[in-house]
Amino acid sequence: MQASVPPEEVNLTPLPAESLPTLASLDAGTRAQLPPLKLSMHVFAEAPAQRFVILDGQRLGEGASPAAGIVLEEIRREGLVISVNGQRLLLARP
Q: What is the pLDDT at residue 42? A: 96
pTM, rounded to two decimals: 0.75
Which long-range contacts does 45-49 make (Cβ < 8 Å, 24+ apart)? 48/75
Instruction: Decide if 66 is inside a domain.
Output: yes
Q: State pLDDT tens for residues 41-78.
A: 999 999 999 999 999 999 999 999 998 889 999 999 99
Domain count, the chain: 1
Task: Measure the CA–CA gap between 40 and 94, rounded to whole angstroms.
Answer: 7
Q: State pLDDT tens for residues 16-48.
A: 456 899 988 888 988 888 888 999 999 999 999
Q: What is the pLDDT at residue 18? A: 65
Q: What is the pLDDT at residue 33? A: 84
Instruction: Decide if 47 is inside a domain.
Output: yes
Instruction: Decide if 54 is inside a domain.
Output: yes
Q: Identify the CA nearest to 25 among candidates 78, 76, 92, 79.
A: 92
Instruction: Decide if 42 is inside a domain.
Output: yes
Within 13 Å and on the Cβ side, how many CA atoms surround 4?
A: 3
Residue 9 backbone phi and psi in degrees, to 5? -100, -5
Over 60: is that where the pLDDT of 10 sits? Answer: no
Instruction: Decide if 29 is inside a domain.
Output: no
Instruction: Decide if 73 is inside a domain.
Output: yes
Instruction: Decide if 83 is inside a domain.
Output: yes
Instruction: Decide if 25 is inside a domain.
Output: no
| Residue 78 · residue 17 · CB < 8 Å | yes
- Which range marks the domain in which residue 78 is found? 37-94
